[in-house]
Structure 1
Amino acid sequence: MTDELQPVPDALAFLAGSWQVERTVRDLAADVTGAFTGTTDFTADLTADLTTGVAAEAGTLLHVESGSFTWRGTARPAERTLLYVPGEEPGTAVVRFADGRFFHGLDLRTGHHVADHPCSADLYRGEFTVYDAGRWRTVWRVKGPAKDLVLTTDYRRRAADPSGPADR
């Protein structure tokens, strides 16, 4: 993977579609590493309010991640849902939890973004890097009294199925 950044003029347009996901989760305090593999789909979903209880505004993407998480030798199904809504600045986004609470802002116009999210006494610091139209990465460093983690996630755009969208 190259270290060159790929500027993204519109984060929501870039993210739309289906992505293959590989994540490592390192618990630095316990010296344990786990892994997630699966998919993330970013879809324009005007029914997001039915799913999340939050009214979907124009341009909102529903982010649905699903796959398998292996921790200490045990694999389990894992999933999460987020909302990506248009930000105040053109091309930016605001990421919200499924229940509508603010998670973080996202500005990929330079190809790189750092976001902070305080969670109780712990701080999540996310670094987002876009390498090209089909590859990007997030690295979340979680530090505080309850956690000492590094979560590294690589996203690769899934190829379209000739018989239809790559929807799983």
Structure 2
Amino acid sequence: MGEFWPVPDVLAYLAGTWRVRRSVRDLASGEAGEFSGTTRFTALREGGLLHHESGAFVWQGVARPAERTLRFLPGPHGTADVRFADGRPFHDLDLSSGRHVADHPCAADLYRGEFTVRDADRWRTLWRVRGPAKDLVLTTDYTREG
């Protein structure tokens, strides 16, 4: 296809620091917000990477600090098992083709994520959230620092 950049080892690719820009659109209300900040992937003692994101989220004109933590654990054949900070499963991640789709049910809502790798220093996630509580599109662009 040429538009995706294959990644044989997700954890090796992600390690380091990334600049993050995320747009959030609420399709039900028409509201939109934006997050900007940094994501750091650092080595975990037990293997894998700790993902820590921090920055500012602007919603309805109000900026607030925002952060989240995930664990990217080694999966088979260069993939990752992505978990919430408390260890609950989130989704798998296989970028061997440069593109991956993952689902995460959350109560009655369904999160569907599409991960695409542009090149050695740029990747994107697009989460579509549908259900009785949410109707959102979250688009995040990552650019490697340094």
Q: For the superposition of Structure 1 and Structure 2, which TM-score range results when normalised by the shorter chain?
A: over 0.9
Who is 1:6 aligned against?
5
Counterpart check, 1:34 vs 2:33: yes
- Distance in 1 separating the partners of 2:145 and 2:57: 20
Match 1:72 to one of 60, 64, 89: 60
Match 2:97 to one of 107, 110, 135: 110
Aligned pairs for 1:1-168 (under 5 A) are 4-46=3-45, 57-58=46-47, 60-87=48-75, 89-159=76-146
Between the aligned residues of both structures, percent identity stands at 70
Displacement of 1:45: 2.6
Q: TM-score by structure 1 length?
A: 0.85
How much is the aligned-residue C-alpha RMSD, in angstroms? Answer: 0.8
Question: Tell me, what secondary structure is at the counterpart of 1:90?
Answer: helix
Structure 1 stretches of 4+ with a deviation exceeding 3 A read none
- Structure whose alpha-carbon radius of gyration is higher: 1
- Distance in 2 separating the partners of 1:29 and 1:149: 8
Displacement of 1:90: 1.3
1:69-100: CA deviation from partner (whole Å, max 9, x where unpaired): 0000000000000000001x211000000000
1:117-148: CA deviation from partner (whole Å, max 9, x where unpaired): 00000000000000000000000000000000
- Distance in 2 separating the partners of 1:149 and 1:106: 21
Please list every run of 5 or more consecutive structure 2 residues that lacks an aligned counterpart in the other structure.
none
Higher strand share: 2
Q: TM-score by structure 2 length?
A: 0.98
